[in-house]
């Protein structure tokens, strides 16, 4: 076994552990929401942070490319650069970071479904100890997710959370 295989195995094991932790938090929230109410903001904040965990892809580069106005004259030209590996994905087949993002997304849904405090986390202006933990903003930012199954979960989470908040606000 060479060093690359060991590194990949360790990375996969860490990602699986992170996903398991989020699953446990989600299950605890569903089983005993009152006991976890003290940790509600911490769980949502951690979930928001790990929702964007994607070490193999730099979304800032793709945002700049998508946001800039391009000349339409260059669209007809095809070059070798259009099909080259530009380093955006590193070992995409071995990438297991998506399990962490998916678990964090599911934890957000379960925590907010089981807690009546969630309406104030929907607003962008909510600040907790200097950290913005706006669920709506975190989920909207992740609509650009590259992994299809995670993107579907994020869109579903946004829908479920907005429905939950609107039902509380009525």
Helices 40-51 and 3-31 meet at what angle, rounded to 10? 140
pTM here? Answer: 0.74
pLDDT higher than threshold 90 for residue 106: yes
pLDDT (tens digit per residue) in 39-90: 888 898 899 999 999 888 877 655 444 444 444 444 444 444 444 444 444 4
What's residue 92's pLDDT? 55
**Contact (CB, 8 A) for 91 and 8:** yes
**Contact (CB, 8 A) for 154 and 142:** yes
CB atoms < 10 A from the CB of 16, how many?
Answer: 14
pLDDT confidence tier of residue 122, bands split at 50, 70 and 90 = low
Q: For the chain, what are the domain ranges? A: 3-59+92-169
pLDDT (tens digit per residue) in 135-150: 888 899 899 999 999 9
């Amino acid at each position: 076994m060479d060093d690359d295989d060991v590194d990949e195995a360790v990375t996969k094991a860490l990602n699986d552990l992170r996903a398991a932790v989020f699953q446990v938090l989600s299950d605890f929230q569903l089983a005993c929401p009152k006991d976890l109410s003290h940790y509600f903001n911490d769980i949502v904040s951690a979930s928001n942070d790990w929702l964007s965990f994607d070490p193999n892809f730099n979304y800032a580069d793709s945002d700049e490319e998508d946001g800039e106005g391009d000349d339409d004259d260059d669209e007809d030209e095809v070059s070798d650069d259009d099909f080259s590996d530009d380093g955006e994905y590193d070992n995409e087949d071995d990438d297991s970071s998506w399990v962490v993002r998916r678990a964090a997304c599911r934890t957000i849904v379960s925590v907010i479904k089981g807690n009546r405090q969630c309406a104030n986390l929907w607003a962008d202006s909510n600040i907790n100890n200097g950290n913005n933990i706006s669920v709506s903003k975190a989920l909207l930012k992740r609509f650009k997710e590259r992994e299809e199954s995670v993107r579907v979960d994020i869109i579903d989470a946004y829908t479920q959370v907005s429905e939950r908040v609107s039902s509380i606000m009525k």
